[in-house]
């Protein structure tokens, strides 16, 4: 059998068997529509109520502040379009950063066509925004700030509670995209966020399900209309198995977080140190305050696409940039924002470790990579 070392967990993860186990009864046995009034419907309603309560406990919020969506992209779209359009009479200025995920940037590009004014904050060479600069950028008609919790490409973890504090003081709505951050602290009160996006497909849960935490006081406009599910904010028949699944995935993430993060950090540091022993290689992104599973490396004089394909042949799966944009030929806007040239960005690859990643996997990866780079540079 072909070796398979999956180092692309930031792109998507397998579904944890415990999560799938929790979901399975809801496909063919407890298959009711939670909106139905009969027992079969109530059985499903109880399942999604329980999931909502469990998630609310993890996020330290009210169950009614959890909106189920079809994934991280929809959660980000709902947060951004929803807030911007519902509050536009009070102001059309919005602040975000230059390193957001495409599912945040693309809605902002669309809002610019609707006459919203978006400020894209610079980041430093490790990907951090400067909270003081953020504070200065806030005008009287700024209504929304959206800054991601942890970056999907270079792993930079922003000081979310500090940003939250500034926004609270200024009376501005604060959204964070936490799709890469489920392994971090998700306490919405401590983080001082008003809106927070999460999804399951990157945290060993099923694809096709996401959450938007929305603080009760915040008004948003739906993007999908119909039967009025999710407090009139997201219509459509509830995806019961997936809702059960995301709750279970978040529960497991919380339980295993500390131990798993420590394990991953050790493996990550070991891999980074090993790679940097190869001549003319550089770490992209921060040394501290970095996602425990993220590694992003610039290899001088190496075509990253070719390297990814060569690693693939050796059974090592990693990526050049965000998988969410992998079909485009543009180089990474994140790497560009931290100061890399287009050439440097196109010589950079990302490894993202996961639960099943072992020391042995990392050793094999290091060995293979060292040989490959040598060979590729020779030609």
> To the nearest whole angstrom, how small is the minimum distance from the Cβ of residue 161 to a copy of itself?
26
Closest listed residue to residue 8, CA positions, set 311, 375, 366, 235: 311
Q: Which residues partner with 281 through β-bridges?
A: 299
Among 86, 224, 283, 366, binds a copy of itself (CB under 8 A): 224
Check binding of 283 to a copy of itself (CB under 8 A). no
Residues 129-148 that bind a copy of itself (CB under 8 A): none
Q: Is 114 in the site for a copy of itself (CB under 8 A)?
A: no
In this complex, which beta carbon is closest to a copy of itself, that of residue 142 or of residue 152?
A: 152
Among 112, 130, 226, 262, interactor with a copy of itself by CB under 8 A:
226
Give the 3-state secondary structure of the chain. Answer: CCCCEECECCCCCCCCHHHHHHHCHHHHCCCCCCCCCCHHHHHHHHHHHHHHHHHHHHHCCCHHHEEEECCHHHHHHHHHHHHHHHCCCCCCEEEEECCCCHHHHHHHHHHHHCCCEEEEECCCCCCCCCHHHHHHHCCCCEEEEECCCECCCCCEECCHHHHHHHHHHHCCEEEEECCCCCCCCCCHHHHCCCEEEEECCCCCCCCCCEEEEECCCCCCCCCCCCCCCCCCCCCCCCCHHHHHHHHHHHHHHHHHHHHHHHHHHHHHHHHHHHHHCCCCEEECCCCCCECCCEEEEEECCCCHHHHHHHHHHCCEECECCCHHHCCCCCCCHHHHHCCCCHHHHCCEEEEECCCCCCHHHHHHHHHHHHHHHHHHHHC
Residue 249 binds a copy of itself, judged by CB under 8 A = no
The number of beta carbons lying within 10 Å of the beta carbon of residue 110 is 14
Residues in 26-85 that interact with a copy of itself by CB under 8 A: 27-29, 31-33, 35-41, 70-74, 76-77
Task: Give the residue, chosen from 110, 215, 355, 377, that forms a contact with a copy of itself under the rule CB under 8 A.
Answer: 110
Query: What are the beta bridge partners of residue 13?
Result: none
Structure tokens at 188: 């919405």
Q: Which stretch binds a copy of itself (CB under 8 A): 10-18, 55-63, 283-291, 362-370?
A: 10-18
Q: Which of 86, 223, 366, 376 binds a copy of itself (CB under 8 A)?
A: 223
Site for a copy of itself in 175-214 (CB under 8 A): 199, 201, 206-209
Work out how close the CB of 309 gets to a copy of itself at its nearest, in angstroms, rounded to a whole number: 7
Q: Does residue 366 belong to the site contacting a copy of itself (CB under 8 A)?
A: no
| Per-residue x/- track, 89-108, a copy of itself (CB under 8 A) | ------------xxx--xx-
Q: Which of residues 329-358 bind a copy of itself (CB under 8 A)?
A: none
Among 163, 318, 334, 372, binds a copy of itself (CB under 8 A): 318
Of 11-19, 126-134, 252-260, 336-344, the window that binds a copy of itself (rule: CB under 8 A) is 11-19
CB of 11 to a copy of itself, least distance (A): 5
Least distance CB 163 / a copy of itself (angstroms): 22
Whole-number minimum distance, CB 133 to a copy of itself, in Å? 26
> Is 285 a binder of a copy of itself (CB under 8 A)?
no
Q: How far is the CB of 190 from a copy of itself (least distance, A)?
A: 28
Instruction: Work out whether 296 is an interface residue with a copy of itself (CB under 8 A).
Output: no
Active site residues: 324
The candidate with the shortest Cα–Cα distance to 199, out of 354, 8, 15, 327, is: 15
Which residue, 328 or 359, has its beta carbon nearer to a copy of itself?
328
What whole-number distance in Å separates Cα of residue 93 and Cα of residue 248? 38
Q: Which residue's CB is nearer to a copy of itself, number 11 or number 188?
A: 11
CB of 28 to a copy of itself, least distance (A): 5
């Amino acid at each position: 059998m072909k070796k398979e070392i999956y180092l692309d967990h930031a792109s998507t993860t397998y579904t944890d068997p415990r999560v799938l186990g929790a979901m399975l009864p809801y496909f063919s046995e407890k298959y009711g529509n939670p909106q139905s009034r009969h027992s079969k419907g109530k059985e499903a309603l109880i399942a999604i109520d329980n999931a909502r309560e469990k998630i609310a406990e993890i996020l330290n919020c009210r169950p009614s502040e959890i909106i189920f969506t079809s994934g991280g992209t929809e959660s980000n779209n709902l947060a951004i379009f929803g807030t911007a359009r519902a509050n536009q009479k009070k102001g059309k200025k919005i602040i975000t950063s230059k390193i957001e995920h495409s599912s945040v940037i693309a809605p902002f590009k669309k809002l610019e066509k609707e006459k919203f004014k978006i400020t894209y904050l610079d980041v430093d060479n490790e990907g951090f925004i400067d909270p003081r600069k953020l504070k200065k950028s806030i005008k009287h008609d700024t209504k929304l700030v959206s800054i991601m919790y942890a970056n999907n490409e270079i792993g930079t973890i922003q000081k979310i509670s500090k940003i939250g504090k500034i926004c609270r003081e200024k009376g501005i709505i604060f959204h964070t995209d936490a799709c890469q951050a489920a392994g971090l602290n998700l306490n919405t009160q401590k983080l001082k966020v008003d809106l927070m996006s999460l999804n399951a497909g990157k945290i060993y849960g099923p694809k096709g399900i996401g959450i938007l935490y929305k603080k009760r006081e915040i008004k948003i406009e739906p993007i999908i209309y119909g039967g009025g599910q999710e407090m009139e904010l997201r219509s459509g028949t509830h995806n019961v198995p997936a809702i059960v699944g995301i709750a279970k995935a978040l529960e497991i993430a919380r339980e295993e977080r500390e131990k798993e993060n420590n394990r991953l950090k050790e493996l990550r540091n070991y891999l980074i140190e090993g790679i940097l022993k190869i001549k003319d290689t550089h770490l992209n992104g921060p040394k501290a305050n970095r996602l425990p599973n993220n590694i992003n490396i610039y290899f001088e004089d190496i075509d990253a696409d070719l390297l990814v394909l060569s690693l693939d042949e050796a059974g090592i799966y990693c990526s050049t940039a965000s998988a969410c944009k992998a079909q485009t030929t543009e180089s990474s806007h994140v790497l560009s924002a931290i100061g890399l040239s287009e050439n440097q960005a196109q010589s950079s690859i990302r490894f993202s470790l996961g639960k099943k990643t072992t020391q042995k996997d990392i050793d094999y990866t290091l060995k293979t990579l060292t040989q490959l780079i040598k060979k590729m540079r020779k030609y």
